[in-house]
Structure 1
Amino acid sequence: MELFDVFKTITNHPLNQGRTINAILGFIRWQIASRLLDRPVAVNFVNATRLLVSKGMTGATGNIYTGLHEFEDMAFIMHFLRAGDSFVDVGANIGSYTVLASGAVGAKCISIEPVQKTFLHLMDNINLNAINKNVEALNIGVGNENGVLKFTSEMDTVNHVMSDSDEGIESIDVMVRTLDDILEKFEPLLIKIDVEGFETNVIAGAKKTLSNQTLLGVVMELNGSGNRYGFDEDFLHGVMLDYGFNAFLYDPFNRRLLPINGKNNKSGNTLYIRDADAVNSRLESAPKFSTSNGWTI
């Protein structure tokens, strides 16, 4: 991300309104400290949780600069889940969502990350927050059938299943399973899917999971990256509607779901909700959480 884009993200972020100078100073402090130390640093996250972050970890450093990098979606995870609920993090990366769900809330989690190098960072954050008993971490990919696929391996938060346009990029072979296979004995209340464009195949392998009425929500990245595989995200949106979900935005400050037509074009993630009344009731009654930059939401 270019420096101008980083500053734009920092200054426009909802949790940096009224504290822009402090946020920029925090960015500068991190840039200096991460270079001087040249090793992972444990930073405060939400409530008593922490993240082990290294220079160049795009999503994780975003949490340092803003408190919650993906504000609406991360706040939704915290406000919706309760201790003991079941959550699935597909495309966990270094574990920001896993730490929120299991560390800040106390939910049970299956956390899935295909790239081994990133998976080790995920395990570091699980261990740092002592949430091993609540989290089952799997170093595999997710797709429409069980097998093996090639993944890019050196692209940080945007590692993905190799496409025809990825010729010459470093890759690794990864075992892949369907969500229905992985979740055979696990009934999630909420699933987050962030697989850099491969969402269509993940959903295709989750027919039983999505048909289970216990599942009330899916947070899914639909940002156009499915084009690399020839996937149609509008078609995928229709598939989610067929399963009985509707699309929403979330307003964390007012704790309300906001219905939308089509997928969310404001950001990369769309909230797909089944039984909005039940979900809104949970959101309204959730406890408040404290972020590292001084907000209570």
Structure 2
Amino acid sequence: MSCFQVNIHIVKTLTIIGLIVSRQEILEQLKKNNGAWRIIPSVIKNDQGEPEFDMLLANAEMQDPGTASLNFRETRCGGFEYASRAFLHAHLEPGDLFIDVGAHFGLYTLTAAKKYPGKINVLAIEPHPENLKRLSMWCEFNECVQNVKIAQCAASSQSGQSELIQNSSMGHSLVPQPGNRNQGKPISVRLETIDNIVRQAGFMDSKERIFLKIDTEGHELATLMGGLDILKTGRVAAIIWEKGHFHNSEKGIKEFASIMGLLRDMGYESYRFPHEDMGGPLVPYSPSHELCNVISIDRSLTPLPVYDQPWTAHTIMSPSMRPPVSENFMIGFTEQLIKDKKTDCGRWSRWDMLGTEADLRAGMAGQLVPENSSVLDAGAGMMLLRDYIPESSTYTPLDIVARNRNTIIADLNQQQFPEQDFDVICALYLLEFIHEPQLFLDWSFKHADKLILIYHPLVPGREVSKRRQAGFFNDFNINKLKLMVEKAGWKEVRISDITFGQACFECLK
């Protein structure tokens, strides 16, 4: 197959309808066309607390679902894919190279280029001509032309030509997508491998550490196969890649498994964030039906315990991000989590999946909290316990995502136990989802004078499969759990039965 040169250029000017556009000219056009455009400041801030870059969006483009989602989530919901961008922002250093495959308008490109202006090289790869116009405009407007190169092509496993299926600006794809509605005729685009693009851009023989982001709408496996040379150099510290709708199809499931196997064999550990638009801890990834970004990290890079959290409202992710599944699927998914000892973190980031009878549990536990107590609510959820404890007591939530500014963010299945001491620790509807509950009980004994547990004990005659369907990781009856509590050191254990098959344990030293 013949090869051809990819159109790679340093962004210096933007040509739109024959005009050379600079930042000042864009600003002048904005003044003349008041209301036609909007400037969206990035939620990522610099050291002075100011937005690191601005995004230009035309009001006429808001009919495009991708553009509308970008605008809404960036301005109202903490930031579009804030968690993955916070990861990138936290680890980039001067001298690094960022490769943005499926760059769209340049959200990740600018996140990297503006972290240390002029000191991080960026290679952006984008095939769609309209997206390229906006990408170039954003780079010009934010004055990062010296360190950004753009390749006008689609990344794949080999060089060639293919049809790009047009959808929303964020949904153009080489692979047919389940349920997608086409918005135009397919267009012909160039295909090129990441390795060839990197060579032609002059980065293959350099020594820069590399961060790679891939969002190619189901074409991720072919994209990675075209970048094996760069992966084998050992320079790629982390890969941010999308698990999308395609990966829940029969073919996509197989390709997803191949990606995970390929990266694992190359020494990468894969993680995800509990919520795409929030920060928090990276949680070891276990294949699921959820749509999310997967972050695969080389051994040379040490993840942070917790990543930055945007303090604004966050959206409840679309139901399509966690598609409904059969009972048998949920049973198998829970069993896989048990085998891997991993957390169903996506579940706990969603307000609409925090379980039932939460008010009942909070009211029961709140009655057992003494006056003037410091209270830790482990697995705080909607923080209902806060409304039931005495007014003289202080309340601290612990959860896998931030529930308020005082939240201790932790994944307890990674034994991320806080070192603070409290008068009372409450664990209401928590132990069911802990792989090693004895460790939690031991830790609570060391750090509190009182422990309040509410747990769904195993009922004789009830099928364990029903517990797996509910996502429960363990199956203790009341006597077994009492023995575990006593083993941790708690001397006085009072057990009361509450409705809906739950038991309350009041544990004292």
Deviates more, 1:232-241 or 1:101-110: 101-110
Which residue of 140, 150, 173 maps to 2:188?
A: 173
In proportion to residue count, which structure has more helix?
1
Matched residue SS, 2:173:
coil
Q: CA deviation at 1:79?
A: 0.6
Change (3 A) 1:290 1:129: farther
The amino acid of 2:37's aligned partner reads P
**Structure 2 Cα separation of the partners of residues 246 and 128 of structure 1:** 37
Q: Match for residue 42 of structure 1?
A: 39
Q: Match for residue 161 of structure 1?
A: 174
Q: Does the 8 Å contact 2:105/2:132 carry over to 1?
A: yes
Q: Does the 8 Å contact 1:150/1:171 carry over to 2?
A: yes
Which runs of at least 4 in structure 1 moved beyond 6 Å after TM superposition?
Answer: 164-168, 288-293
Change (3 A) 1:227 1:181: farther
Change (3 A) 1:271 1:167: closer
The amino acid of 1:223's aligned partner reads G
Q: Deviations over 1:113-170 (max 9, x none)?
A: 1100111011111111101111101111100100111102342111111549888951
**Structure 2 Cα separation of the partners of residues 176 and 68 of structure 1:** 31
**Structure 1 Cα separation of the partners of residues 131 and 183 of structure 2:** 21
For structure 2, the residue ranges without an aligned partner over 5 or more in a row are: 1-32, 45-50, 314-404, 406-509
TM-score of the two chains, using structure 1 as the length reference: 0.74
Which structure would you say has the larger Rg?
A: 2
Change (3 A) 1:143 1:82: same
Which residue of 143, 155, 158 maps to 1:145?
A: 158
Q: Deviations over 1:231-283 (max 9, x none)?
A: 421222111111111111358756x5432334x7554210000116x333xx5
Q: Match for residue 120 of structure 1?
A: 133
Q: CA deviation at 1:199?
A: 0.4
Q: CA deviation at 1:104?
A: 3.4
Show the 5 A alignment for 1:1-297: 39-45=36-42, 46=44, 47-54=51-58, 55=62, 56=64, 57-61=67-71, 62-106=73-117, 107-163=120-176, 169-184=184-199, 185-186=202-203, 187-226=208-247, 230-231=251-252, 232=254, 233-250=256-273, 256-262=281-287, 266-275=290-299, 278-280=301-303, 283=304
Change (3 A) 1:128 1:59: farther
Q: Does the 8 Å contact 2:165/2:172 carry over to 1?
A: yes
**Structure 2 Cα separation of the partners of residues 202 and 215 of structure 1:** 15
Q: Match for residue 474 of structure 2?
A: none
Q: Does the 8 Å contact 1:113/1:140 carry over to 2?
A: yes
The amino acid of 1:147's aligned partner reads G
Change (3 A) 1:169 1:74: same
Q: CA deviation at 1:176?
A: 1.0
Identity of aligned residues (%): 20
Q: Deviations over 1:11-66 (max 9, x none)?
A: xxxxxxxxxxxxxxxxxxxxxxxxx9663322211323101123231443121222
Deviates more, 1:222-231 or 1:193-202: 222-231
Q: Does the 8 Å contact 1:90/1:193 carry over to 2?
A: yes
**Structure 2 Cα separation of the partners of residues 194 and 279 of structure 1:** 23
Q: Does the 8 Å contact 1:247/1:270 carry over to 2?
A: yes
**Structure 2 Cα separation of the partners of residues 164 and 157 of structure 1:** 12
Matched residue SS, 1:98:
helix
Matched residue SS, 1:183:
helix
Change (3 A) 1:78 1:266: farther
**Structure 1 Cα separation of the partners of residues 250 and 156 of structure 2:** 13
Deviates more, 1:267-276 or 1:107-116: 267-276
**Structure 2 Cα separation of the partners of residues 289 and 103 of structure 1:** 19
The amino acid of 1:133's aligned partner reads Q
Q: Does the 8 Å contact 1:146/1:176 carry over to 2?
A: yes
The amino acid of 2:242's aligned partner reads E
The amino acid of 2:297's aligned partner reads I
Q: Comparing both chains, which one has the higher relative contact order based on Cα–Cα distances under 8 Å and sequence gaps of 6 or more? A: 1
**Structure 2 Cα separation of the partners of residues 190 and 49 of structure 1:** 20
Change (3 A) 1:39 1:156: same
Q: Does the 8 Å contact 2:124/2:148 carry over to 1?
A: yes
**Structure 2 Cα separation of the partners of residues 85 and 173 of structure 1:** 33
Q: Does the 8 Å contact 1:80/1:279 carry over to 2?
A: no
Deviates more, 1:52-61 or 1:109-118: 52-61
For structure 1, the residue ranges without an aligned partner over 5 or more in a row are: 1-35
Matched residue SS, 2:170:
helix
Q: CA deviation at 1:171?
A: 1.4
Q: Deviations over 1:198-229 (max 9, x none)?
A: 00110111111111211110000012424679
Q: CA deviation at 1:172?
A: 0.9
